[in-house]
Amino acid sequence: VLFFLRYRQLPDHHYPVIYQDCLNATMKFLKGAGAYGVEPSQVVICGESIGASTVAMVSQALAGRTNLPQIRAQVLISPVLQLLNLQLPSFREMKNVSFLTLDIFMTCLCRYLDNDLFWQAALMKGACILPEDWKKYWKWLSSDNISNRLKNKDQEPQFPGPFNESAYLETKQWLYIKNSALLEDDEIIAQLPEAFLVSYGYDILRDDTMLYKKHLEDRGGGGPMSWYHVEGGFHGCVVLFDRKPFSFPCSQDTTNGVVSYIKGI
């Protein structure tokens, strides 16, 4: 059974509507899964891009709940998992790669979070984050967690920049855990269902997946974690898997990987 979820979208609906809609729909489905011929303990939730981010947040929200069946597994395809370090290698190296350029990424986020693009420069420099928050989260957000084989030899910029209080006051929601699944508490991480993470070689969000992968490994995620990297892939390619002649090898590669994983659990 494949259950496809639609949620309210921009320009009429802003943060946190996507998360709330998906959480409510998932809870309702879990409660009534039997009516669809589904074994409640075998539900896998899957998403791509912002949908994958929502899957991560819904999985965290439902982790350990005793009044609902537990999610069997979560599949995250090129998710947004943190909004703090926008100077990771993939953000700098892939900023002009289609279909998700850095400008498009920032525009969409600012619109969803109802922020003015005026603050983009401060957000990119990390100047809108309190120094004590950087101290708390830096060990999870640092590019030191990224494999050297995924980095080029360019010198990394000075980061974060000097704290900007005005930017902080206008963009505080960028730090909310419900917008950055990477920042969730250890207690929740330890109760998560198993995860299948998909990343692409030509994607500004590649390193978000790398950080979350290491995060789950180091902090002992509740279930097993698998990583599937498509070196020649780019953001959004999976949606073209059945759109010949516009499909790419990476589109089918992603689809095959996800299907194989789900069949194997």
> Closest by alpha carbon to 71, among 4, 23, 20?
23
Quick one: DSSP state of residue 86? Answer: T
Q: 2 — alpha (psi -120 to 50), left (phi > 0) or beta? A: beta
Residue 49: active-site member: yes
Q: pTM of the predicted model, to two decimals?
A: 0.95
Q: What pLDDT, on a 0 to 100 scale, did the predictor assign at position 221?
A: 67
Helical ranges in the chain per DSSP H: 17-31, 50-62, 89-93, 102-112, 120-125, 131-141, 165-170, 186-189, 206-219, 249-264
**Which listed residue (53, 180, 199, 203) is catalytic?**
203
**Which listed residue (53, 235, 251, 253) is catalytic?**
235
* Mean pLDDT score of the chain: 94
Residue 235: active-site member: yes
Q: In angstroms, rounded to a whole number, what is the distance separating the alpha carbons of residues 190 and 216?
A: 8
**Which listed residue (49, 78, 180, 251) is catalytic?**
49
Mean pLDDT (10-residue bins), the chain, 265 residues: 92 94 97 95 97 97 95 98 96 95 97 96 96 94 89 79 96 89 92 97 98 90 90 96 90 98 96
What lies within 8 Å, CB to CB, of 100 at 6+ separation is 49, 203, 204, 205, 235, 236
| Amino acid (one-letter) located at 176 | Y
Per the omega criterion (within 30 degrees of 0), is the bond before 160 cis? yes
Pairing of strands 44-48, 225-234: unpaired
* % the chain with pLDDT above 70: 99
- Which residue is listed with tokens 């920049």? 161
Q: What pLDDT, on a 0 to 100 scale, did the predictor assign at position 45?
A: 98
The CATH code of domain 17-264 reads 3.40.50.1820
Q: In angstroms, rounded to a whole number, what is the distance separating the alpha carbons of residues 196 and 258?
A: 8
End-to-end CA distance of the chain: 15
The sheet carrying 44-48 orders its strands as 44-48, 73-77, 194-202, 225-234
Q: What pLDDT, on a 0 to 100 scale, did the predictor assign at position 148?
A: 84
What lies within 8 Å, CB to CB, of 106 at 6+ separation is 117, 120, 123, 124
Is 96 exposed, middle or buried (CB count within 10 Å of its CB: 0-12, 13-18, 19+)?
exposed
Q: In angstroms, rounded to a whole number, what is the distance separating the alpha carbons of residues 216 and 192?
A: 9
Q: Where are the domains of the chain?
A: 17-264
